[in-house]
């Protein structure tokens, strides 16, 4: 079991948003508020501190008073969520990092507490899942994974599942798949 104060929360907003026409997804309005802001508000009470991962409009995000980190500069181009994981692991000052994507505005209020219950000696990372399958962007991990993840990305690998498969994993099943409703298209933003 890990205490809340030992966990830094990272909102992932660094993607390409190609299914939304290439816009910066975290800044898109959903129910009157930018998506990344909703994610930060939902995550903040669950962790000791929060940060945000972005690759565009860093100043716009920083205006909300949150620490914003771009993906590691030496890993060129868009690399997918693992680049955000690495940036978070490198900047976190707590022993644990938990990630959430910016595009799931209804994720569970007890997400981090439940992931933290499953973090034990012998576990490197804990993933959320529903009956529909794993939700790998919702991941509690040890900060000490930074070196392993850097080696993985430097070797040219990008796939989240393949990186996680070689680690000691635990999974926590959440009953309500609707809580992981994911915004990918303009229609989703209007729901
Ligand atoms: N830091 C960082 N986060 C990313 C990157 N790519 C995706 N993400 C984040 O990972 C989560 C899932 O992203 P996807 O929906 O698969 O990708 P996306 O780029 O946001 O959108 P599409 O281009 O439409 O697939 C979102 O929170 C993204 O912000 C990246 O290169 N860097």
Contact indicator for 87, 160 with CB cutoff of 8 Å? no
pLDDT at res. 61: 98
- In angstroms, rounded to a whole number, what is the distance separating the alpha carbons of residues 79 and 88? 14
**Strand 133-142 to 96-101 pairing:** antiparallel
CATH classification of the domain holding 101:
3.90.550.10
Residue 12 β-bridge partners = 53, 101
142 is in which domain, residue-wise? 4-189
- Residues of the chain falling short of pLDDT 50: none
Binding site per annotation, positions: 12-14, 25, 71, 103
**CA 14 to ligand 1 center in whole angstroms:** 6
Ligand 1 atom 31, closest CA? 80
Contact indicator for 135, 180 with CB cutoff of 8 Å? yes
Residue 51 β-bridge partners = 10, 67
Q: How many domains are there within the chain?
A: 1
pLDDT at res. 55: 94
User: DSSP label at 35?
Assistant: H
Contact indicator for 126, 98 with CB cutoff of 8 Å? no
Ligand 1 atom 13, closest CA? 15
- Greatest distance between any 2 Cα atoms in the chain: 43
Contact indicator for 108, 176 with CB cutoff of 8 Å? yes
pLDDT at res. 141: 98
């Amino acid at each position: 079991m890990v205490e809340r104060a030992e966990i830094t929360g990272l909102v992932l907003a660094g993607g390409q948003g190609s299914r939304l026409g290439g816009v910066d997804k975290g800044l898109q309005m959903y129910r009157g508020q930018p998506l990344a802001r909703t994610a930060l508000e939902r995550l903040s009470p669950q962790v000791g501190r929060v940060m945000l991962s972005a690759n565009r409009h860093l100043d716009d995000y920083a205006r909300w008073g949150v620490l914003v980190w771009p993906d590691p500069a030496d890993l060129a181009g868009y690399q997918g969520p693992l680049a955000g994981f690495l940036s978070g692991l490198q900047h976190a000052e707590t022993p644990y990092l938990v990630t959430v994507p910016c595009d799931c505005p209804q994720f569970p209020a007890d997400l981090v507490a439940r992931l933290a219950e499953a973090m034990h000696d012998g576990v490197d990372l804990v993933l959320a899942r529903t009956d529909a399958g794993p939700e790998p962007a919702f991941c509690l991990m040890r900060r000490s994974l930074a070196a392993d993840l850097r080696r993985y990305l430097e070797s040219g690998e990008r796939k989240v599942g393949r990186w996680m498969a070689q680690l000691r994993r635990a999974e926590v099943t959440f009953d309500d798949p609707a809580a992981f409703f994911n915004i990918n298209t303009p229609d989703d933003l209007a729901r």
